[in-house]
Each structure stands twice: as structure tokens, then as C-alpha cells.
């Protein structure tokens, strides 16, 4: 147990945090051993449906969905395994003003899918499966009392792997002293953002919650004044800060953006049904793994996990290769705009969400000619380094993905690029403020966009 | 075909509109004959599941859902039939400024469930089932081009009868001349609101779309000035107009309201599954009707319909008795507040929505003592007439409900009433402006609340 009085902001260096994460990883060593999915201790497949679930209920079930879609001019009909789980999860961050500096209570989180050891997680990262355990600090979020709620919104998980799964993302401000338990630390928000840039250090749950922070509490207000210089970087930063303001001049009004998404959802013609896993024809369990008969998109494997002596078994998702997630940004009249795509994934609650400009697995296209690339992959590969304003890596949910990580990029362009119809998407320029406004509500920004929004916010407060 | 130039506002009286509706009803007589549900021409029951659907697909299917919920302190486990339909419907209203007065293009709509003949419907009331027909004016909404979109949001249907059904509610402003087809008329918005008060005259689809109108386009701005008098009615009206303003002082901040709903949805513990109709144990087809074995909640009956010579058959819902839908309102510091409840219905996409203060079938309680009433029914029955500021009747969707109508009431109170825990709900005071802000997005206001919001808006512009 550490002292209840948090250390002043200037006493915790980035190096301290890295050392703390390393010490935690050393104290709680992770060992994940692959075992056959069909021989997973405590789990079994339903003979009638094929669904793989824990014998004592809870946690999650591996089932399947069938998706038939005619969107963006192309028809797809496919089925694949998905994770089904009650959407009772809480991802919460406690926030506190210490000496005029916004701080967040972060935990050093060790998870089976974290290749690099411990990462910074939110104060609470509680899913239904662990609600029977005592989760520290959970009561601040389930029963906030009179405390100020800074954000509270149920956000989606990745719609390609999770069926209509949402977690409550919530930020609560405390004014009173809070006991800081072992494994937790108050960190300046600015420091968390700085560590985000290091890659695979701030976990995706933390990014998702932080993306819900209103611009007004970022502590970035003073930063705009340091921006009088005329160089290109300063112009970019000025345009970014202007873009965060709620009333910034936008290419499209918010009602117009809402209408665009409403039309996509209504006429997008996507039909999704949960089906029996055994009816997902192209998938089968082979050599102890649930795998596609033809392509190696991803596999579901059995894992025997030892987390510092805490042992259990579960299925985990093993992706074929790391992902790439990109926001193209453009200065339109002094206001930075972000290019969003309407993304249709079978697991979304409401058909389509606002996704990044580009979201793909680049290695799938290694052997293919550029005209087979998803849109903007070619532009990214040919980008001048000066166009890349931010870059990091974020690990996918490490409680179920096995060492999956994506490269997140903010890339400037001067191309127009709006529109649709080539089978890859339908794109619109929006301001950061519009993204933040929509992000107060469920079913707008997908997980990848929220992580990128968190990156943009971090650029607002960086030195 | 009428002239393309709409008549000036002052040339269409309420009496003209009534005569137009009556003439339409006379021209398109409606005859609905009950036939046995299990002998419905063109429809059949799936032997394996019991699902009742049209043999040629499309339209809708009668299936069932099972709902297990622990909310507001009470446990319920129940199953009942529901309507399943792809959510591709469009409810659209064209709007136009004529001589400084906002007008809406309404149609005289004849539907099988309209007991009183024709009602005012939106410009477009198109569900998936009639998308193969040519729907007049639909292209203004599917492809609005550069026209101004005033509102565009997918809104829920009643969650007790429809499974995750939404319709796109959209309002588009036109500046150009629009050909006015037979059966359609430009009416001043103010006149539609006046006719709403007459009861069973403006249909529920029109109410739902109109509820999405931002306060700024209601044309109510000038009305506040006529409010200087000190009598009680003027004070009420002044508080109502202040409440509509986006920044009006509210009992709870909007983030606080969002958080309250987010917690209800996350921890409300409602589980809903679609089940086979034949597994809905308390329901069976008896004497040609799908009916509950014990209680008469509602029945699904077969209908042979003749609408002015257009003939078809379909199942229809016959409710046991008319409903009652009430917003309690209270002047808090000069700003009218509305008491909303968090309502859990199995058919909602996102667990719970903001419902009225009271929503019930009063005749169910005729034989019961007041302490068995749902909350606020006693207060309503004992209300002083001066507390009732607005009252009307709205017919439920007349394409599927058979002559079902609910009484809508705006009732003032000076009681505090917030809170939860007695098994009937969890209540919060919100401003009209907050309701309107949330109503820009899906899954917040349920259908009954949207109709009441439309009533409140009508009170803003009434003389």
C-alpha cells in the first residue's frame, strides 16, 4: 500500500513509469501456453450448435454470425466466429486536479495478450466475468454519488470479433483523497499522453476512455498561445487546436454528418444473423484451432494462462498479422479536418459506425498490385515523412487477443478525397470537435477511431 | 393534380383540413374484416418455429421474444409475440418557408387501423414492404442533394411490440417549387399543431418526425414577447419557452442525464432473446387469434383489408384497451422541467429509453385499489383541471394496430418526485431543450415521449 497522498506531478518522470511497469511485469510474470481448443479444461462445445463456452457459464462464448451486405457498391456474404458476452463491462478512470494539473489514476495492467509486459490501464477495467471478484474503485463508477461525471458512454468493441458488445466508458472527477492501492498511480494526463506515443504502453481500454474527455478538460487551452510562429508545424498545431473547439467552422454541419450516417444505416442493406458455430461452413477445428479452411484471417486457439500464479484457461484470438489504422487529416480554412469512413461491421449494434480513413491488415496486400489495395494504403506507403504527424502502436484487448497490435497513424494530406462508390467506403471530412461531440453518445466512433481521437487529443497537450 | 403553387397560409382553415380529410376518407373507404389468423390468405406458420410470415417474404413476421429483467427493484420473466421487420422505413416531412411562415407538406393518410378515417401523415411514410412501389417524394429523402437537412435520426418503435425496429425520421427543407400531388397539402406548421390538439387527427408517424424539429425552426421565437402578463398561464408558457432554449438552466447537466441512462443500461440486467413463437408457452392460437392463455393483454388477429379497392390480408395487433401517456411537468426556477422515466422494453435496441412519467393501460387497474396503481396514475385521477395543460389522443401505427389510441396528457405538478426503487421506475427532471438535444440521436426518447415532446412543441407555437 502506497501513501494516500499522490506524489506531485513533477516527481514522476516517464522513466519512473517505465520502471514501474517493468517491475510490475517482473512481479507478475505471464505465461501463456497453447493447448488444443477442443481439449480446453473447463470449456466445452455444445454438441447441437458447436458453441464453445465455459462449463460454469459466464466469461464469454464463441459462436458465429452470418453477414450479408451490399455496401459501398460491393456485395459480401460471409460467416465467421464471434465472441458473445453480456455487455456489462465498466472501463473507468478517476480524475483529479492536483495543483491545477489534471491527473488520472492509472493501473499497471498485466494481461495474457500483452507481449511487452505491463501497460497502463484505466482505474477500472471490469468485465462481467470478474464482477464476482472485488474490483478496486468500481464503486466510484457504479455509484458516483454527487461527484462530477466528466463522461459516461457505452462504447462499442471491434465489430469484426465481438457481437454487439459494449463497455461503459466513464470518467469521474474526485475532489477528496483517494487511497492509492498497490499497482495504481496518479499520473498527469499529459504524461499518459506522452507515454501513448511510445507504443504498446497505454492499453486500448485506457485510450477508449480517454477519447471521451471533453476538450475543455484536456488542459490544452494555454497551448494555443505558443503558436504564433509561422512554420508548418505551428500551423498544423494551430489548426488542430481550432478543430477541437465545439463551434469551429466545419466542412459539413453536424446534422449533415448525422444524416449521412442515418442514410448509410437505413439503406446500407446489411443483414446480420447469429448462426450456430457448426454452421459457419468455412470454419472448422483443425489441430486444436478454430480456423478458416482457405484463408488465414485469424484463428481461435486454446490458451492455458498463468498470470503470476493465477491460472485459468480460455480461448484467445490470434490475428494473422498486425493492423494499420490511419486518420488522414487536412487543413481546411485553418481548421484541421479528419477523414472518416462509414464502416459496416457485423457486430455493431447499429449497422455502421464512423471508422478511420484506412483500417486494414497491410501484409494481406504484400503480394498484390497497388490497384488491389484498400483506399489510401498506397498514399500511406508513398507518404513523405513530413506528412506523418503522429505514429504509435496500440495493443488490442489483451484479455482475448494474443499479442495483436496495430500501427496508428495521423497523416496529413492536401487531397480532397471525399465521396464514395469504389467499394471501399464513403468518406467525409469532420472536425475533431464534431468527433468529440458525437463521441458523447453510443454507436458513433468505432474503437479504432476512438484510439485515433485519443492520439489527436494527446497532440493538443504535448509540448 | 393540384396547382404547384401552394395556397397562402391564411387560405386554409382548420375546417378546410377537416373537410379534406373527410373527403379523402369518403373517396378511399376502409373495410377491415377479421379472418382466422391460421387461415390468412398468403400467410403461413413455419411448422418448426411457429413464426407467421407472408409466403412471398417481405412485410413483417410474427415471432416471439423472451425477456428476463431485474429492473427498478422488481424481477420479471415473460415471453410474448413480437413483430420482426427490417428497419428500412423512412418517415419524412418536406418543409418550406412560405411568406416567412414554416409550412410542412402533409398527406391525408388512410390506413386500416384508423377508426376515424383519414389522418394527417408525413410527406413520406414508407416502410420496407412498400419500397417496391413508387413512393411519392421519397427521393427528396433518400437523395437530398444540397438541400438543407433539418433533422435526420433513426427512431425506435414501441419496444413492447416491435423487435429492434427503427424508422428513419427526416425533415428536409426545400426552396424550390414542389409539385403538390393529389392527397397532399402544404400546411402551416402552426396549423398542424392546432389540429394535433383535436385528437386522432395527426398520426403518430407525423408526431414522431415533428418531434425532431429543433426549437429554432418552430417559429415560436416571437411568442415569448406576448407573455408579459402575470397570470398563471403566462408563467407556465414563459417557463415552457425558456425550457426549450438549449442553454436553459437545468436541474441536471446533460452529461449527468447521459450517465444515469448509461448506468441503467449497463447494470439494468435485462436479457432478451428471440425465441420461437411456438415456445412462447402462455400464448396460443385459439379461435383464429394469437392470444394469451390467462390475461387479455393484446391479441394478434387476421385481417382482410380493403382500402378503396386495394385488397390484402395481414395480421394486426388488437390491444385490450386504450393507453394513457403522461408527462408530469414542473416549474423549477422559471424553467419548465419534464419528468422522464427509464423504461425497459424488450424490443429496444439499447436496453432502456427515456419514457414518459406514466405510460399504462388504465382500465387494467379499474378493479384494483390505488396502491396497486402504477406511479402517478392516482395523481392523474385526482388532478385539478387547472393542472392539465394539454390533452389529446394519438392513434397507434394504423398499419398494424387495429383502432388503438392513447390519451396524451401534459400535467403540472409541484411535487419533487425524483428517484427510484419502488418497482415502477427511476425518474429524472429534464428540460425540453435537453429532450430535444437527445432526440437528435437514436435510442433516447421512446415513441411515447416523442409524441409528448411534439405536444410540448405545439404548445410553444399555439396562440
- Whether chain A has a CB inside 8 Å of the CB on B58: the answer is no
Are B258 and A90 in contact (CB < 8 Å)?
no
> What pLDDT sits at residue A225?
43
| A239: Cα separation from own chain's centroid | 25
Are B152 and A441 in contact (CB < 8 Å)?
no
The mean pLDDT value for A291-299 works out to 89
Domain locations along chain B? 222-269+320-461
Are B442 and A350 in contact (CB < 8 Å)?
yes
User: Smallest Cα–Cα separation from B339: which of B322, B350, B325?
Assistant: B325
Confidence of residue B422 (pLDDT cuts 50, 70, 90): low
- Whether chain B has a CB inside 8 Å of the CB on A88: the answer is yes
> What pLDDT sits at residue B378?
94
> What pLDDT sits at residue A280?
93
Confidence of residue A1 (pLDDT cuts 50, 70, 90): very low
The mean pLDDT value for B277-295 works out to 93
Are B153 and A266 in contact (CB < 8 Å)?
no
Q: Return the beta strands (E) in B345-404 as ranges.
A: 352-355, 358-360, 388-395
Are A168 and B263 in contact (CB < 8 Å)?
yes
The three three-digit cell numbers of residue B196, written as one number: 394535433
The mean pLDDT value for A344-349 works out to 91
User: The cell 463497455 sits on which residue?
Assistant: A167
> What pLDDT sits at residue A131?
43
Angle between helices A447-461 and A189-196 (to 10 degrees): 120
Which residue out of A86, A262, A342 would a mutagenesis test of the B interface target, given it has the greatest number of B Cβ atoms within 10 Å? Answer: A262
> What pLDDT sits at residue B128?
57
Q: Is the pLDDT of residue A228 over 60?
A: no
Confidence of residue A2 (pLDDT cuts 50, 70, 90): very low
Q: In which region does residue B449 sit, left (phi positive, over 0), alpha (psi from -120 to 50) or beta (all else)?
A: alpha
Are B267 and A142 in contact (CB < 8 Å)?
yes
User: Smallest Cα–Cα separation from B376: which of B335, B324, B454, B337?
Assistant: B324
Element (H, E) at B380: helix B377-381
Instruction: Name the phi and psi angles at B369, rounded to 5.
Output: -75, 155
Task: Note the pLDDT tens digit of each residue in B232-266.
Answer: 567 999 999 999 998 899 999 999 999 999 999 99
**Whether the complex's predicted ipTM surpasses the cut of 0.95:** no
Confidence of residue B220 (pLDDT cuts 50, 70, 90): low
> What pLDDT sits at residue B131?
44
Chain B residues inside the 8 Å CB shell of A151? 255
User: The cell 497502463 sits on which residue?
Assistant: A120
Residues 6+ apart with CB under 8 A from A343: A159, A352, A353, A354, A355, A359, A425, A446
What is the 3-state composition of chain A as percent helix, strand, coil, each rounded to the nearest 5? 25, 35, 35
Comparing CB atoms, the residue among A144, A168, A271 nearest residue B266 is: A168
State the smallest CA–CA distance between residue A172 and chain B in angstroms. 10
Comparing CB atoms, the residue among A87, A90, A441 nearest residue B441 is: A441
- Whether chain B has a CB inside 8 Å of the CB on A259: the answer is yes
State the smallest CA–CA distance between residue B265 and chain A in angstroms. 9
State the smallest CA–CA distance between residue B235 and chain A in angstroms. 31
Are B255 and A90 in contact (CB < 8 Å)?
no
> What pLDDT sits at residue A128?
57
> What pLDDT sits at residue A229?
44
The three three-digit cell numbers of residue A108, written as one number: 499497471
Percent of chain A scored above 90 by pLDDT?
77
Q: Which of B9-13, B184-188, B351-355 has the lowest mean pLDDT?
A: B9-13
The three three-digit cell numbers of residue B34, written as one number: 377479421
> What pLDDT sits at residue A356?
98
User: Smallest Cα–Cα separation from B236: which of B332, B336, B328?
Assistant: B336
Task: Note the pLDDT tens digit of each residue in B302-312.
Answer: 999 999 999 99
Chain B residues inside the 8 Å CB shell of A89? 266
The three three-digit cell numbers of residue B451, written as one number: 409524441
Torsion of CA A357, A362, A364, A370, to 10 degrees: 80
Task: Note the pLDDT tens digit of each residue in B44-74.
Answer: 999 999 999 999 877 899 999 998 887 776 7
Q: Is the pLDDT of residue B298 over 90?
A: yes
State the smallest CA–CA distance between residue B11 and chain A in angstroms. 33
Task: Note the pLDDT tens digit of each residue in B318-342.
Answer: 999 999 999 999 999 999 999 999 9
Chain B residues inside the 8 Å CB shell of A154? 262, 265-266, 350
Confidence of residue A132 (pLDDT cuts 50, 70, 90): low
Are B258 and A142 in contact (CB < 8 Å)?
no
> What pLDDT sits at residue B233?
67
Q: Is the pLDDT of residue A72 over 80?
A: no
Q: Which of A69-83, A350-364, B160-174, B180-194 has the lowest mean pLDDT?
A: A69-83
Chain A residues inside the 8 Å CB shell of B87? 266
Comparing CB atoms, the residue among B87, B153, B262 nearest residue A168 is: B262
Size of the A and B interface in Cβ pairs below 8 Å: 78
Chain B residues inside the 8 Å CB shell of A142? 263, 267
Q: Is the pLDDT of residue B2 over 60?
A: no
> What pLDDT sits at residue B10?
55
Task: Note the pLDDT tens digit of each residue in A118-131.
Answer: 999 999 999 755 54
State the smallest CA–CA distance between residue B345 and chain A in angstroms. 16
Which residue out of B442, B443, B445 would a mutagenesis test of the A interface target, given it has the greatest number of A Cβ atoms within 10 Å? Answer: B442
State the smallest CA–CA distance between residue A190 and chain B in angstroms. 24
The mean pLDDT value for A274-295 works out to 93
Percent of chain B scored above 90 by pLDDT?
77
> What pLDDT sits at residue A462?
73
What's the mean per-residue pLDDT of chain B? 90
- Whether chain B has a CB inside 8 Å of the CB on A150: the answer is yes
Chain A residues inside the 8 Å CB shell of B126? none
CATH of region B222-269+320-461: 3.90.79.40
Element (H, E) at A184: strand A184-188
Task: Measure the CA angle with vertex B36, ends B30 and B39; round to 5°.
Answer: 110
Q: CB–CB of B162/B348 below 8 Å?
A: no
- Whether chain A has a CB inside 8 Å of the CB on B77: the answer is no
Three-class secondary structure of residue B444 per DSSP = coil
Are B142 and A267 in contact (CB < 8 Å)?
yes
Amino acid at each position: 500500500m502506497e501513501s494516500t497522498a499522490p506524489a506531485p506531478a513533477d516527481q514522476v518522470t516517464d522513466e519512473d513509469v517505465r520502471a514501474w511497469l517493468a517491475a510490475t511485469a517482473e512481479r507478475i510474470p505471464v505465461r501463456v501456453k497453447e493447448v488444443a481448443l477442443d481439449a480446453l479444461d473447463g470449456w466445452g462445445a455444445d454438441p447441437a450448435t458447436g458453441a464453445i463456452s465455459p462449463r460454469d457459464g459466464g466469461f464469454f462464448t464463441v459462436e458465429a454470425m452470418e453477414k450479408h451486405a451490399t455496401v459501398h457498391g460491393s456485395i459480401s456474404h460471409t460467416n465467421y466466429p464471434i465472441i458473445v458476452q453480456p455487455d456489462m463491462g465498466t472501463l473507468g478512470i478517476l480524475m483529479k486536479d492536483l495543483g491545477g494539473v489534471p491527473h488520472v489514476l492509472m493501473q499497471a495492467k498485466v494481461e495474457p495478450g500483452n507481449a511487452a509486459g505491463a501497460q497502463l490501464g484505466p482505474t477500472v477495467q471490469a468485465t462481467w466475468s470478474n464482477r464476482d471478484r472485488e474490483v478496486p474503485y468500481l464503486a466510484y463508477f457504479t455509484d458516483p454519488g454527487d461527484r462530477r461525471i466528466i463522461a459516461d458512454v457505452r462504447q462499442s468493441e471491434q465489430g469484426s470479433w465481438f457481437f454487439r458488445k459494449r463497455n461503459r466508458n466513464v470518467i469521474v472527477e474526485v475532489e477528496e483523497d483517494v487511497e492509492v492501492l498497490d499497482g495504481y498511480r496518479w499520473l498527469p494526463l499529459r504524461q499518459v499522453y506522452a507515454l501513448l506515443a511510445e507504443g504498446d504502453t497505454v492499453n486500448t481500454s485506457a485510450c477508449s476512455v480517454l477519447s471521451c474527455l471533453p476538450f475543455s478538460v484536456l488542459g490544452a487551452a494555454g497551448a494555443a498561445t505558443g503558436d504564433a510562429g509561422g512554420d508548418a508545424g505551428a500551423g498544423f498545431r494551430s489548426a488542430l487546436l481550432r478543430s477541437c473547439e465545439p463551434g469551429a467552422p466545419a466542412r459539413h454541419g453536424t446534422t449533415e454528418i448525422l444524416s449521412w450516417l442515418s442514410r448509410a444505416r437505413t439503406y446500407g442493406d446489411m443483414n446480420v444473423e447469429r448462426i450456430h458455430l457448426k454452421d459457419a461452413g468455412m470454419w472448422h477445428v483443425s489441430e486444436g484451432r478454430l480456423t478458416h479452411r482457405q484463408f488465414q484471417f485469424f484463428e481461435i486457439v486454446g490458451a492455458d494462462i498463468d498470470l503470476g500464479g493465477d491460472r485459468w484457461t480460455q480461448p484467445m484470438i490470434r490475428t494473422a498479422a498486425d493492423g494499420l489504422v490511419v486518420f488522414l487529416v487536412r487543413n481546411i480554412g485553418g481548421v484541421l479536418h479528419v477523414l472518416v469512413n462509414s464502416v459496416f461491421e457485423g457486430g455493431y449494434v447499429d449497422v455502421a459506425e464512423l471508422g478511420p480513413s484506412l483500417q486494414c491488415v497491410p501484409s494481406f496486400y504484400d503480394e498484390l498490385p497497388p490497384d488491389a489495395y484498400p483506399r489510401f494504403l498506397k498514399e500511406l506507403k508513398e507518404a513523405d515523412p513530413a506528412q506523418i504527424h503522429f505514429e504509435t502502436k496500440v495493443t488490442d484487448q489483451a484479455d482475448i487477443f494474443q499479442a495483436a497490435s496495430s500501427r496508428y497513424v495521423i497523416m496529413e494530406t492536401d487531397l480532397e478525397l471525399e465521396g464514395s462508390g469504389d467499394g471501399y467506403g464513403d468518406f467525409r471530412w469532420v472536425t475533431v470537435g464534431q468527433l468529440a461531440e458525437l463521441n458523447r453518445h453510443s454507436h458513433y466512433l468505432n474503437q479504432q477511431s476512438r484510439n485515433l481521437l485519443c492520439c489527436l487529443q494527446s497532440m493538443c497537450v504535448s509540448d
